[in-house]
């Protein structure tokens, strides 16, 4: 059975609550698509107003991060229970910006993965290499480690519901995009890695996105690849053109 496409916008640190409502209202009619899951992953302060604005539409509201503890003295963090209570169904975990600027590791991402599954939240786990790693020829070694550690302790049934986003760091916000062949090669390698950890059925069920300067011009070709099941879209998700990415055919 063909995997259902999932196209998610990652707003990053953009949009005030007022702007978030305006953007959701602008995009609502443009992102209607019965054949794909559409997710807006928004800053924490925007979750509730965006959720209200998206009511009755095909848009799911997701979070950009969460902590791996239930509650406690973790000033500034957000717990999975808070996200569930707000109606959040998806959470981006391990984005390269979180790893680079906030010292997240494969191990901390794994803790968050386990906690997300525990609370019924679908993780969108990010992985990807730097330009230096690509030039050294260690892309798949690096990404396989991210995936293997990220999925430690995750059951096959849980893994089948997960989303993995391959985002080459050198293509995020740079305007550079991996070629279709490069993107498909790594996404196929990630699926092979999941097959080695679990089995073929699990690997076939996992949805793998490509992210990194996805736009209206390259979405159709990227999403047509056998192992690319949609995209995690940054800057372009803040513009009306996001509707063209969602309706890429």
Positions marked active-site: 95, 167
- C-alpha angle 25-29-32 in degrees, rounded to nearest 5: 125
SS3 72: coil
| Residue-wise burial string across 185-195, b where 16 or more C-beta atoms lie within 10 A, e elsewhere | ebbebbbebbe
| Cα–Cα distances in angstroms (integers) from residue 232 to residues 10, 140, 145, 192, 239, in the given order | 7, 20, 21, 20, 14
What is the C-alpha to C-alpha distance for residues 229 and 221, in angstroms, rounded to an integer?
12
Closest of 133, 238, 129 to residue 186, by C-alpha = 129
| Cα–Cα distances in angstroms (integers) from residue 123 to residues 120, 172, 224, 240, in the given order | 9, 20, 23, 26
Does residue 162 contact residue 204 with C-beta atoms inside 8 Å? no
């Amino acid at each position: 059975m063909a995997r259902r496409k999932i196209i998610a916008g990652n707003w990053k640190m953009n949009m005030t609550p007022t702007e978030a409502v305006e953007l959701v209202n602008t995009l609502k009619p443009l992102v209607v698509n019965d054949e794909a899951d559409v997710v807006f992953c928004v800053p924490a302060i925007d979750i509730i107003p965006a959720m209200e604005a998206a009511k009755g539409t095909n848009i799911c509201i997701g979070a950009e991060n969460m902590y791996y503890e239930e509650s406690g003295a973790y000033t500034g963090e957000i717990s999975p229970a808070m996200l569930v209570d707000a109606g959040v169904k998806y959470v981006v975990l391990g984005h390269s910006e979180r790893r680079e600027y906030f010292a997240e590791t494969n191990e901390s991402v794994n803790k968050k993965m386990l906690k997300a599954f525990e609370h019924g939240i679908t993780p969108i786990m990010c992985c990807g290499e730097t330009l230096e790693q690509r030039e050294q020829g260690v892309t798949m070694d690096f990404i396989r480690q991210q995936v293997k550690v990220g999925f430690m302790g995750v059951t096959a049934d849980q893994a089948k519901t997960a989303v993995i986003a391959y985002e080459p760091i050198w293509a995020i916000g740079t305007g550079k995009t991996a070629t279709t062949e490069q993107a498909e090669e790594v996404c196929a390698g990630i699926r092979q890695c999941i097959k080695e950890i679990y089995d073929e059925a699990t690997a076939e069920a996992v949805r793998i996105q490509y992210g990194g300067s996805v736009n209206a011009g390259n979405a159709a070709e990227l999403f047509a690849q056998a192992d690319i099941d949609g995209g995690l879209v940054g800057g372009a998700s803040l513009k009306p053109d996001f509707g063209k990415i969602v309706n890429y055919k």
